[in-house]
Structure 1
């Protein structure tokens, strides 16, 4: 199995940074991250829970008749509490906050709000469901406890198109005659669903069930506003999956159940871009190992695909997300006879396995949730267990699309600020311009090329000597962050009376010559050590007139005849 040993570990005493985008937050007692989402500023937020307990040596002499009264008596600093972590692109933790409530409580799910805040869903250990709305700094806007008089549990909080959320979970069957148990179910548990507006007002709540034991697992909203609810069914010794389509008001449209001798466990449902739904299941094989099973279902409960992915070890996918090209990223866990690791898979639209990786140490590790980010990387939340420990820790990491571990992104903004200071005289003299993407353009009239020329003039050489000394000294000091230094040659669009093809190819050759003339001049003026380093990062290219300079929609031919530089950092 694949082990990742270089981890970013955070405790009260340790902050050890690595190049891998992998963060472990080690607190006392068991703690975990259960859901993750990308923020509008491209940072990553994850939610979970941490645990703190009251010191038994305290002088509290009060007595309590039951455990729940005792839990309610504890201050907000004690017990299991919802916890939110926010991380920037450099793997720096910019925010950590516990949503302190009176009762012990645990977070289950995270949904972004239009204001860049959060809905957080979970439940208390005394059996209530919890919905919190937070602002972008995780300050509490409101907190609501809801549910039935019975023991309730939340499984998922789902964001809806109107800005509201849907809470899905389970409720113990009622023995109270005020409840219509014949319509709501006679099993040990029923599916519980509640809908909230974007302001947090409960619009409705309903229970659904059968004579079996039913649990709400997840839900997905269809294009027409109806909702497909994923549930788990227990009937005697058999377990299975239920799919139920309800209207936006909670009225049942249809119900589909699949119960098999092998036993099926549902984990996740998402709506695809083609308006169908994918359901992640697991089922036991003949060796009693869990295997991954995926269903594709349409809105009329037709099964479009049903595929089992057989793996060497017992495997489960707990969360799935879709790329724009129809591929699927999925995370969960894989377990052999020695340990459990976090599992990540890449699948095509037909559920064929393209890639898989295992991440973890020598003990228990598991991935609970993922979010495909704007740049096609994957944010993953889960738990990690340190060697020889019995307590789980919060784990947040970022993976590339090829499922390799992403590297910590060096701050482009920081490099931009340093380069702005380095070249402040040249910028003030309008000799060059620096953009925030770390591209550098020469803007002085004497630094442009004449028509058809690529041989450097004395003014160009003089400027390049000064510019190159500053730039390369700075880049060499930061060489562990530098992936490439591009030197691109450019031309204007004219080339005598040639046709377009001849004009383009002639200009392409010219732009490459300009790039090479600049690159070779800078390269030859360095010592041997610097030359060897430059040979690893320099990249020269000719762009012909594809990036010509336009002024008021008219080509500025003089300024188009130029070279430009661009610094590429690792992770960008």
Structure 2
């Protein structure tokens, strides 16, 4: 039996075991996850930068709007104080008042200004507006860069003769209020003191009739029929236009 070697049942050649294959696979997957994590981190940084930039832009635009709002408030107060200083002593004899919030000077004695249902300005109020309007334009002249428009507004109460039809009363008063506003504008435009202001007036002053849509109310909420009939001169500043411009530029 010497020299006999038993057959080898198992090969001694080393082959990759299952553990080794798993290790290689795990290493590849780990490498892939690292790459994905790096990509996600980079994307997060990009989104963060975009968010910061957008927040900064919003803050800048908000600051612009705040600055305009503050400027508007200061300008509004300056115009109101200038009008009050110029006309404070005259308003009672004219039957007029100044609204601080809307920068409106309203003349309430409509029955003295016009005949019932008519739009022809009375002689008495031709004298009033001959005195008032040139001074009004002079007071506003330092603020023209911040004025978007001036409106001469016609207002009525809700009544119209003996008509019980609300719609008929509204439209009849609408026509009347428009005609009265135009009548006042035409008169002040014709004043010799306004000869050098015609171009500005044509570009910036409008006559508007509101019928009974903006009634003056008593403390109990009822309609004040006499004060609702009025002609008003209103200053409209350009702050709203500037804010709209900023918002349009932001989008």
Q: Tell me which residue corresponds to 2:167.
A: 501
- Give SS of 1:563's match: strand
1:479 shift after superposition? 1.7
- Write out the 4+ residue segments of structure 1 that deviate beyond 3 Å after TM superposition: 235-240, 397-400, 405-410, 427-430, 443-450
Q: Tell me which residue corresponds to 2:211.
A: 544
Distance 1:406 1:318 in 2: 25
1:478 shift after superposition? 2.8
Distance 1:493 1:485 in 2: 25
Q: Tell me which residue corresponds to 1:570.
A: 238
Distance 1:470 1:430 in 2: 14
What is the root-mean-square deviation in Å for CA atoms of aligned residues? 3.2
Q: Tell me which residue corresponds to 2:43.
A: 263
- Give SS of 2:213's match: coil
TM-score normalised by L of structure 1? 0.32
User: 1:262/1:434 Cα in 2 relative to 1: closer, same or farther (>3 Å)?
Assistant: same
- Give SS of 1:317's match: helix
Q: Tell me which residue corresponds to 1:370.
A: 59
1:431 and 2:114 equivalent?
Answer: no
Q: Tell me which residue corresponds to 1:516.
A: 182
Written as runs of structure 1 = structure 2, the 5 A alignment for 1:117-156 is none
1:532 shift after superposition? 0.3
Distance 2:109 2:142 in 1: 28
Distance 1:494 1:564 in 2: 19
Q: Which of 417, 421, 426 is equivalent to 2:85? A: 421
Written as runs of structure 1 = structure 2, the 5 A alignment for 1:309-320 is 316-318=50-52
Looking at both structures, which has the greater relative contact order when contacts are Cα pairs under 8 Å and sequence separation is at least 6? Answer: 2
Going by fraction, where is strand more abundant, 1 or 2? 1
Q: Deviations over 1:33-68 (max 9, x none)?
A: xxxxxxxxxxxxxxxxxxxxxxxxxxxxxxxxxxxx
Q: Deviations over 1:429-477 (max 9, x none)?
A: 4632111121111145764544312110011111111110110122234
Unaligned runs of 5+ in 2: 1-32, 241-251
Q: Tell me which residue corresponds to 1:531.
A: 198
Going by fraction, where is helix more abundant, 1 or 2? 2
- Give SS of 1:550's match: coil
Distance 1:502 1:543 in 2: 15
Unaligned runs of 5+ in 1: 1-234, 241-258, 267-280, 283-289, 291-315, 320-329, 333-366, 372-377, 381-396
Matched-pair contact (CA < 8 Å) for 1:490–1:547: yes
